[in-house]
Structure 1
Amino acid sequence: MNLELTNPSILGPTRLSPEQMNLFVQSVNPHAIELATHYVAFGQYYGIRGDIAFAQALLETNYFRFTGIVQPEQNNYAGIGATGPGNPGAFFQTAEEGVLAHLQHLFAYAATEHLPSDYPLVDPRFHLVQRGSAPTWTALNGKWAVPGTTYGQTILNLYDRISKA
């Protein structure tokens, strides 16, 4: 794995293009929705690695196949609020809103600054996060997914595969 990815910050510039990200997911799931442009745009706005957040979305949704409890019509690419069969998590009106909520949730974990105000807060769990408690992807272990002892490493390994595709 790239040395830069041993424990990168959630905050930082996106390095992969939307085209590279979409081509990768479509090589695994030809029917995948194209969301990479939203991940890049909102990543840039919030100062978050949108490309690694995209890898997290692929992990959470099984490459946008939604084989778990979260269903496609929820537009919930991060499993926000999904805790089990009786609780499939949050619903978002559009794909764009779902990506926005994902990046806002990451911002809550990674930063202590106020959420920038150009977009409305759509993440229903933003205020439940201990602000700044996970500045790196591996610091999400045990916080985003429980027990999730290798959650961040799995995201980074998937990002590494995308970057080499």
Structure 2
Amino acid sequence: MVLAIALPVLLALVVAGLAVAARAGAFSPTVAAETGPLALAPVDAPDATSAGCTSLLAALPADLPGDPALAGRPMAEPVQAGTKAWAAVPRPVVLRCGLSRPQELTPTATLTDVNGVSWLTITDGTPQPTLVTYVAVDRGVYIALTTPTQIGSGPVQSVSDRIAATLPKRPLQLR
């Protein structure tokens, strides 16, 4: 009789424990960030070869903050001017400098200040976004930093520091 009661209770506890462990990621394989050359699709970046972008790219760190640190990633040929990338999971962190003015930058757009740089935040449009793009809108060139949402704010803080140190602030160009 005791065995008839104890066995189902024990089975329920084991199943519950496995469910908690699975939800916590205990059974998920560790995925390593890709580190090979990254091919980027071309985008409209009329100022990618400007002095501002050249200065910023030279000032960017080899690695970005993360756990573990996000190592720089080489670009595949043909390399798009004004770009830099870092290895991250599930997608790389990508910086593009010299972009055209974002259409989302309107008088009612919400901007976020990170270490003295005004950023327009654009998500991938899904209910639970996996990527977020920050566009620096208060410098002489537009700079986009696209990151996976789960890596936190370290990359945008680090890049903000380099932008603030390299490119002078200018008034916003609103329509």
TM category, shorter? under 0.3
> Which structure: greater helix fraction?
1
TM-score normalised by the chain length of structure 2: 0.26
Larger Rg: 2
Higher relative contact order (CA 8 A, sep 6+): 1
| Structure-1-length-normalised TM-score | 0.27
Give the structure with the larger strand fraction: 2
